[in-house]
Amino acid sequence: MVELEIGQDGAIAAVRGNLDELLDFAPDEIRGVPSAFLHPQITEAGLHTLWVRRRNGDRALLHAFSIPHDTHTQVYLAHVFEQDTIQVKLAYQSALFRGLAFAAEYGDPELLNHLSRVERYTIWIAEEALRWEQPDVSRITLAAYVHDVGKSAIPREILYKPAKLTPEEYKLVQTHTQKGRDVLEEVESYIQQENAWLYDEKSWQWAKEVALHHHENWDGTGYPTGAAGEEIPLVARVVKLVDVLDALLEARPYKEGWPPEQVKREIDQKKGVEFDPHLAEWLLAQDWAFVQNIATGKKG
């Protein structure tokens, strides 16, 4: 909690508490500044929930409790969400990304099942293979959700064509990677302008990396940039592996699902070619009965 003492002239006379953590201002920067600079209603008596100005111009949602005195006004400021800020931000990103993913491929009857499986695989690898902390597990899971968001810019008659694509059609489908990155950049800019307090930079960076790079190959033969090895962002390498894993195991209108042994042989043959060899080796070493349980949403 931070306490401000505001004089009768409306200027901030004293600061007590960690203002730097709350609003990114050093106390010396804010002393003598009109309190209305932070918010025009900050000195109104009583308890209010206000969007208070931060040093960079963004707004923070704070509780403000103001107590008028004869010579000054005391104002107590505290975060609305306290330690839950990152969870609130990630929940907001989750709602956005899930909506974008659904809209991008609306009409695909298998979409939600596919995204649910990709989500479970991604969480498993992030937690067990990479040993990431929970916020980053959530971030890569959100990025996996929007890996194909660029398909919103591809004609449906091509996406769901029941026959083999022509070379021209295949080239058009390949552009979904750049278009996905572009879609996310556009939405991101809107969030930064309109809801900056809920913006999580790392979530958007990872989502853009996954959208652009999830068809790159370890040996540099993928698209759209031809990046190779560790030039490919790790988050994109993870999502590529889980996306292909699900595509091979699950039946599609145009193919049967492959048995686990056949999937394992395919991944083994393409480790170090298409797939990150370290991630592929880890996956191949797992109990594949457990892999199938993950696919079906079973525990253990």
Exactly one of 89, 151, 208, 264 is catalytic; which is it? 151
**Any catalytic annotation for residue 298?**
no
The residue from 54, 80, 106 where one domain ends is 80
Confidence label for 83 from pLDDT (cuts 50, 70 and 90): low
Q: Residue 162: what pLDDT?
A: 81
Considering the domain architecture, whether residues 182 and 162 belong to the same structural domain is answered as yes
Considering the domain architecture, whether residues 278 and 230 belong to the same structural domain is answered as yes
Q: How many residues does the chain have?
A: 300
Considering the domain architecture, whether residues 125 and 250 belong to the same structural domain is answered as yes
Considering the domain architecture, whether residues 176 and 28 belong to the same structural domain is answered as no
Provide the whole-model pTM.
Answer: 0.76
The residue from 25, 53, 80 where one domain ends is 80
CA distances for 71 relative to 8, 38, 96, 187, 295, angstroms: 6, 20, 48, 48, 67
Q: Which domain holds residue 108?
A: 85-296
Please give the tally of structural domains in the chain: 2
Confidence label for 31 from pLDDT (cuts 50, 70 and 90): very high
Considering the domain architecture, whether residues 199 and 89 belong to the same structural domain is answered as yes
Considering the domain architecture, whether residues 98 and 67 belong to the same structural domain is answered as no
Considering the domain architecture, whether residues 155 and 67 belong to the same structural domain is answered as no
Side-chain half-sphere exposure of 139, counting CA atoms within 13 A: 21
Considering the domain architecture, whether residues 49 and 89 belong to the same structural domain is answered as no
Considering the domain architecture, whether residues 68 and 209 belong to the same structural domain is answered as no
With a cut of 90, say whether residue 17 has pLDDT above it: yes
For 272, counting Cβ atoms within 10 Å of its Cβ (0-12 exposed, 13-18 middle, 19+ buried), the class is: middle
Considering the domain architecture, whether residues 31 and 139 belong to the same structural domain is answered as no
Considering the domain architecture, whether residues 190 and 209 belong to the same structural domain is answered as yes
Looking up residue 159, the CATH number of its domain turns out to be 1.10.3210.10
Q: Minimal CA–CA distance to 121: which of 215, 250, 220, 218?
A: 250
With a cut of 90, say whether residue 89 has pLDDT above it: no
The residue from 57, 80, 103 where one domain ends is 80
Task: Give dist(CA 289, CA 300) in Å, integer.
Answer: 9
Looking up residue 25, the CATH number of its domain turns out to be 3.30.450.20
Using the 8-state DSSP alphabet, how is residue 252 labeled?
Answer: B
Considering the domain architecture, whether residues 166 and 201 belong to the same structural domain is answered as yes
- 144-181 confidence digits (pLDDT tens): 999 999 999 999 889 888 888 999 999 999 999 999 99
